[in-house]
Chains A and B, each alone.
Chain A
Amino acid sequence: MPTRTYLEAIRQGIWEEMERDPSVFLLGEDIGAYGGAFKVTEGMLEKFGEDRVIDTPISESAIVGAAVGAALMGMRPVVEMQFMDFIACGFDQIVNMAAKIHYRWGPAVPLVIRGPSGAGVHGGPYHSQSNEMWFVHTPGLKVVAPSTAYDAKGLIKASIRDDNPVIFYEHKFLYRRIKDEVPDDDYVVPLGKAAVRREGSDIAVITYGAMVWTALDAAKELEKEGIALEVVDLRTLVPYDEDAVLRSVRKCNKVILLHEDTRTGGMAGELAALIAERAFDDLDGPIVRVTAPDTPVPFSPPLEEYFLPNARKVVEAARQLAAY
């Protein structure tokens, strides 16, 4: 089976959907001749033409609004945000227009807004954010955050086929750093299904995106100490797989909630509430969060390293929790 990078897998997924369905088209900044800031859409202009790979002015709000208009007319636009930090410029169109149309008057709004998020590349405050919770908190949107190349392809395909607005968080740190087996087949990874990346019996680590790899690194380290982590990759945040979360909590009786996003109002808080409501009697220790602190993402390497959760921080949290 061919191995591909995370980035190549996304490109292949979009490519296949464009071949399969003529209503799928791309809209964004520098995505045509240049192939996108990270080259996700490289080669697509030549293959699919200017009608379907559209370079726009720097106008995130108009890009999202235009995607909504096209989606209402039966198209399936895929919008690239050059960096997910800039999605704030299109925020109103996403939360007030795209997210609410189906609820307000019924039509499908099939569109995907995708782009690079996350830190670890010294991008500073405006090229590093994990701002997924802005959209997790908005009913009407779906939010996806793949961690593997296999999933990246399967989830982008599922997102393009979905009849709702989907915000698709690619992790830029993973783009060219991870590679796995990605079949050339036409497969989808359904939205709302988590994956257990590693089986364990002592502590469940619930996470998503690049932090899945951090959790796996920590698990390897802890294995030497006889602590067995179970690593659950949510894959999608809306809808998220409540059953998978509860299953692992009930199995391990201890849980660490891990994400790269900042702490207050992060996904961990939501998961902690779910676990407290539905699995309180199964807990043998406090629910523990390992997250970034409540600050913007700093630029200089020592600052960014301090900011980001890493395997060492997970190991320390797990040791304390194991001893509880």
Chain B
Amino acid sequence: MLYYLKLTRESEYRIERVLYRQGKIVGGVYVGRGQEAIGVGSAIQLAEGDVALPSHRDFSSFVIRGVPLGQIFANWMGRGTGPTRGRENTLHIGNLKLGLIPIVSPLGDTLPVACGVALTFQQRRRKNVAVVHFGEGTTSRGDVHEAMNLAAVMKLAVVFICNNNAYAYSTPTERQYTVRDLSVRGPAYGMPGVTIDGNNVLAVYGAVQKAIALGRAGGGPSFIECKTFRMTGHSAHDAAEYVPKELLEQEARKDPILRLEKVMLERQLLTREGLVEMERRIHKEIDEAVAYADAQPLPEGATAVKGVYCGPDCWWKS
């Protein structure tokens, strides 16, 4: 888990602080600095046949489910050989073989889709689960209500994970909802709801493990609120001056990666040398992935009109 946490942090650093500034990434840049534990602690325990519907701040889910790092960078850079052939940006990367369904920018739309995925599991008597991530801002959308209610009524194996990072763009939680913990909404729909420390990867792992077990056993959906903090702007162009400095400093001390490192070093599950070696390996992997992506061509402009419809002569198969 430490490896994926660090790989995610470093990859997103490259994207937000290096490649974006070099002009190699056009368009918006949204990263999950500070909240990596949620994606890692959940995606790492998915089994074959399970489906993840990560948010735009869950970089690790894509790596863990098996999208090659170079392909992820190629997508960010709009390359024609990337997973979306330049049609989509950031982490809007789907791959059904890997059990990955990406967000659309009207966030919250993936929650009903997760219900449909779990409905198919139910119809086919499979013990798989759908795990969907979304922010606390998204919980204000009607689709979240509709999906949570539908999942509860139909007893669908969906794990609803709210990455509560305290700000929806510039809007703090008190302008988004009035309850202290969003997990009260779980029981309101008739499903378990818990609020956990989202910066503790072991706590995330434990809560998601329980929810997955319930789903596999036919016990229906669960709601997990992971409290974390967005240690960057909404996107790369946002300086986030609306976040008080003291708050940011206070939250920085809860960094999920440093916390796991500390625990592992204390319990002698990791040595200093091991850590350095891991970091070296991560840097090398990212260097190679960026080099691969940067060598990929941009798409031909005229391909913009291809593959609008699926049919026997499907462009995507070419």
Contacts and interface: CB of A to CB of B under 8 A. Distances in A.
A235 B53 CA distance: 37
Nearest to B315: A106
Contacts of B109: 65, 92-93, 96-97
Given A61-B143, A72-B101, A92-B106, A66 B308 contact: no
Q: Which of B101, B121, B153 has the most CB of A within 10 A?
A: B101
A287 interface: no
Interface in A43-79: 51-52, 54, 56-57, 59, 61-75, 77
A108 interface: yes
Interface size class of A (residues with CB under 8 A): 35 or more
B112 A62 contact: yes
Interface string B102-131: 101110011111111111111100000010
A57 B150 contact: yes
A18 to B, nearest CB: 13
A80 to B, nearest CB: 15
Range of interface residues on chain B? 35 or more
A103 B84 CA distance: 9
B307 interface: yes
B49 to A, nearest CB: 10
Nearest to A65: B112
A104 interface: yes
A62 B150 contact: yes
B113 to A, nearest CB: 4
A102 B113 contact: no
B147 A105 contact: no
B306 to A, nearest CB: 9
Nearest to B316: A106
B308 A69 contact: no
B150 A97 contact: no
B309 A102 contact: yes
A142 B310 CA distance: 11
Interface stretch (B37-45, B86-94, B210-218): B86-94
B83 interface: yes
Interface in B142-165: 142-143, 146-147, 149-150, 153-154
Interface of A: 25, 51-52, 54, 56-57, 59, 61-75, 77, 92-93, 96-97, 100-109, 139-140, 142, 163-164
A-B complex: 9 closest residue pairs judged by Cβ atoms: A69-B116, A65-B112, A66-B116, A62-B146, A106-B316, A73-B120, A105-B94, A59-B146, A69-B113
Given A65-B111, A73-B116, 17 more contacts: A25-B123, A57-B149, A62-B112, A65-B115, A65-B143, A66-B150, A67-B116, A70-B117, A75-B123, A93-B143, A96-B106, A100-B104, A105-B83, A105-B92, A106-B316, A107-B310, A142-B309
27 contacts: A25-B123, A54-B154, A59-B146, A61-B146, A62-B111, A62-B115, A62-B149, A65-B115, A66-B112, A69-B130, A70-B119, A70-B120, A72-B96, A72-B113, A73-B96, A73-B117, A92-B106, A92-B143, A101-B94, A102-B307, A103-B308, A104-B94, A105-B88, A105-B93, A140-B309, A163-B311, A164-B311
